């Protein structure tokens, strides 16, 4: 998979961007607040139809304009295809080769991306909602249909919660239990399937970059218990039973207390919670190992590396771990877009064909003078 051409209009603080990324490394340089992250977020949004940071789609449209557009031409398996996405009035529309995409699966068509941002480095110490979002990004990379499946669960959950807040009769709430359990079981099954594949790779990667040996990756399904089948049908039955058991409490509190939205990704060291006991350096090693495992997992599943987006993470890592990350990126032979305030931090991932871009006040221009002397 190769991103051949990228065009952006009125996305975040970016005005108009037209670039032909390097097949290997494209380095985006600029001071904070100039638009580096916006450029990577535009690429992530193009490849996933999900914002990397925004809570609302309207936040993606540049202030004072009505529509944001991101388009990319990809080479996939020897064939070229163009995908694009527009956001206007809080509504997103996706296109394939200029025509509105009939199905999400048709839109993605082999496009995969792994993003690594400074926010990810806070996953270990953050709350469960942060780890769920972190996990779900990896699940989507592995199973593109997960975007549609997760949305279906969120719709069913929203309807049930609305009735709970309105103190609707129990029979009304129970009418949504089947939909919540069915769609929730699919989300659970996807998450667990991803962890079965990625977990061992993450443990191995963490060991390779640190002295941590007793690392664990697991999943906690809150209030669901452990005495049920791990198959999707068993998960659905267990969810339906738990929803019924907790109905009185849910009605009293006005929200659904059991389901994938309440679960947590478990990261442990020596059998103890990494959130409670890991140092900052250990936490960052865990997240870095996870991201390296995610790259390897996508390659193993699809036979090709994903597009990599690294947003200024080199400035947040110590020199040893940054060197390991840059070496991994170079060895992966994946196409990568990196942002940085200091070009020397990413020099190990750069090569003679690296495209150097400067971002200033929302404008992007090629600038070969950014190349550090040692990469010349």
**How do residues 282-318 score in pLDDT, each as one tens digit?**
999 999 999 999 999 999 999 999 999 999 998 899 8
Beta bridge partners of 366: 357
Tell me the per-residue pLDDT of 182-192, one tens digit each, with 9 for 90 and over.
Answer: 999 999 999 99
The percent of residues in the chain predicted with pLDDT above 90, rounded, is 78
- Each residue of 38-69: pLDDT tens digit? 999 999 999 999 999 888 999 999 999 999 99
pLDDT in tens, 327-345: 888 888 899 999 999 998 9
Question: 374: pLDDT confidence band, cut at 50, 70 and 90?
Answer: low
Q: Round the average pLDDT of the chain to a whole number and report it.
A: 92
Q: What is the pLDDT of residue 375?
A: 43
Whether the model pTM is above 0.75: yes
> pLDDT at residue 376 above 50?
no
The contacts of residue 77 (CB under 8 Å, 6+ apart) are: 110
| CA distance to 107, 142, 329, 335, per residue, from 81 (Å) | 10, 21, 25, 17
Of 113-127, 137-151, 214-228, minimum mean pLDDT range:
214-228
The pLDDT value given to residue 331 = 87
The mean per-residue pLDDT over the stretch 22-30 comes to: 94
Q: What would the two tokens of residue 354 be?
A: 């690296």
pLDDT band at 351; cut points 50, 70, 90 = confident
Give the tokens for residue 91. 């509504």
Q: Say yes or no to pLDDT of 90 above 80.
A: yes
In contact, 259 and 150? CB cutoff 8 Å: no
Would the pLDDT of 230 be above 80? no
For residues 227-247, give the mean pLDDT: 89
Where would I find the H helices in 49-169? 104-108, 128-142, 146-165
**CA–CA gap between residue 45 and residue 165 (Å, rounded):** 33
Q: Among 259, 177, 250, 191, which Cα is nearest to 221's?
A: 259
Which residue would you say has higher pLDDT here, 182 or 351? Answer: 182
Four-residue CA torsion sign, 181, 182, 186, 192: positive
What's the CATH superfamily of 113-305?
RecF/RecN/SMC, N-terminal domain (1.20.1050.90)
pLDDT reading at 108 higher than 90: no
- State CA 18 to chain mean position distance: 24
pLDDT at 234 over 60: yes
Query: What's the chain's length in residues?
Result: 376
Judge whether 11 and 76 are in contact, CB under 8 Å: no
- Number of Cβ atoms within 10 Å of the Cβ of 327: 12
pLDDT at 92 over 90: yes
Cα–Cα distance for residue pair 180/183, rounded to 1 Å: 5
User: Which CATH number among 3.40.50.720, 3.40.50.2300, 3.40.50.460, 3.40.50.300 corresponds to the domain 1-111+307-376?
Assistant: 3.40.50.300
Tell me the DSSP string of 247-280: HHHHHHHTS--SSGGG-EEEEEETTEEHHHH--H
Domain ranges of the chain: 1-111+307-376, 113-305
């Amino acid at each position: 998979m190769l991103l051949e051409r990228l065009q952006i209009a009125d996305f975040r603080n970016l005005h108009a961007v037209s670039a032909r990324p390097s097949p290997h490394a494209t380095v985006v340089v600029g001071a904070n607040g100039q638009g580096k992250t916006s450029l990577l977020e535009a690429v992530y949004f193009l490849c996933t139809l999900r914002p990397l940071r925004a809570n609302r789609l309207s936040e993606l449209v540049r202030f004072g304009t009505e529509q944001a557009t991101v388009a990319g031409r990809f080479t996939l398996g020897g064939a070229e295809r163009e995908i694009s996405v527009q956001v206007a009035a809080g509504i997103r529309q996706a296109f394939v080769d200029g025509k509105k995409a009939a199905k999400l699966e048709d839109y993605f068509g082999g496009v995969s991306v792994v993003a690594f941002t400074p926010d990810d480095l806070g996953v270990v110490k953050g709350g469960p909602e942060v780890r769920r979002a972190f996990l779900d990004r990896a699940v989507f990379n592995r199973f593109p249909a997960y975007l549609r499946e997760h949305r279906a669960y969120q719709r069913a959950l929203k309807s049930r919660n609305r009735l709970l807040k309105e103190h609707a009769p129990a029979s009304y709430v129970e009418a949504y239990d089947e939909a919540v359990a069915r769609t929730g079981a699919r989300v659970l099954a996807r998450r667990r399937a991803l962890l079965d594949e990625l977990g061992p790779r993450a443990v191995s990667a963490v060991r390779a970059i640190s002295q941590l040996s007793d690392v664990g990756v697991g999943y906690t399904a809150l209030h669901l218990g452990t005495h049920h089948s791990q198959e999707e049908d068993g998960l659905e039955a267990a969810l339906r039973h738990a929803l019924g058991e907790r109905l009185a409490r849910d009605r009293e509190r006005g929200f659904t207390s059991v389901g994938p939205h309440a679960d947590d990704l478990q990261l442990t060291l020596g059998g103890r919670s990494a959130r409670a006991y890991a140092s900052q350096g250990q936490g960052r090693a865990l997240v870095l190992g996870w991201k390296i495992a995610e790259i390897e997992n996508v390659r193993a599943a699809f036979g090709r590396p994903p597009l990599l987006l690294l947003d200024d993470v080199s400035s947040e890592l110590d020199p040893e771990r940054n060197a390991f990350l840059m070496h991994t990126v170079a060895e992966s032979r994946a196409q990568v877009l990196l942002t940085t305030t200091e070009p020397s931090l990413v020099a190990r991932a750069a090569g003679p064909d690296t495209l150097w871009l400067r971002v200033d006040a929302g404008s992007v221009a090629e600038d070969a003078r950014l190349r550090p002397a040692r990469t010349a």
